[in-house]
Copies of this chain bind each other. A is one copy, B any other.
Amino acid sequence: MKQSDRDRAVRLLWEPQPESSRGPKAALSQSRVVEAALKVADAEGVEAITMRRVAETLGFTTMSLYRHVPGKSELLDLMVDAAWGETAPTPAGPWRDGLEHYAGEVWRMYRAHPWMLQLTTSRRTPGPRAMAAFDRALAVVAELGLKPEEMVAVVTAVGHFVDGVGRTMADRVKAERETGVSEEAWWDGQDALWEHFTPERLPMMTHIWNTGGYERPIGEFEFGLARVLDGLAVFIESEERQREAQVVRRETCL
């Protein structure tokens, strides 16, 4: 990626485009392209996001999209930021409620747009709406006397967990869409696989299976999030840290 490409991507996301007045009136627009791409992605997954496919749903030719979007990569940038724009801003309040709300919103977003988790995120130009969401999550832990780098660490820890659960959820959704077979039905059909799940090879898994552990699965998101927040509480509310916090609060003049 060249410097010029970067700057273009930044302008695309952060600056409202001036809407040129010359030339013929545009039958298409950037927002319509992004909207159409979102619809395609939600319904059919990442691999359905092809320039041809998006153009087709809009009733235009493939190349017409390039008049409104520099390329596919930038289209993805715009889609991602549009999705973040749908999340409700984290309200002020106790840190635990705030982080729970933040995690819940991200989780809701991932469930609505599982394709997001199949995209590479690094070096993707961050958009204003995604940044705003992150900023608001940081605000939730602002008053606890944490060091600046600790605030970042706390919020990203929650983010990483949600990303992790989200990814396995996204994979599941994708698989169900592609095969038309529910997760449960699929595993039921794996007879050839089950034969190899012997107590000698996988003692714990067979034991858990036999005692019905897989028949009452625990909500992965809720359970894991509660643990993560418990862990953060230990850190945030530790007496030692609370004492240090006095100093930090004075030094950083928050």
Contacts and interface: CB of A to CB of B under 8 A. Distances in A.
Given A121-B168, A164-B161, A179-B123, A149 B213 contact: yes
B211 A128 contact: no
Contact of A205 (B125, B131, B165, B197): B131
A149 B216 contact: yes
A151 B214 CA distance: 11
Interface string A179-208: 100010010011011001100011111011
Contacts of A148: 207-208, 211-214
Nearest to A194: B10
A10 B193 contact: yes
A150 interface: yes
Given A157-B228, A230-B231, 15 more contacts: A11-B192, A123-B178, A125-B193, A132-B202, A138-B204, A139-B203, A139-B204, A151-B213, A156-B220, A157-B161, A157-B224, A160-B164, A163-B167, A230-B234, A231-B231
Which 5 A/B pairs are nearest by Cβ-Cβ distance?
A: A148-B213, A231-B231, A122-B171, A160-B164, A164-B164
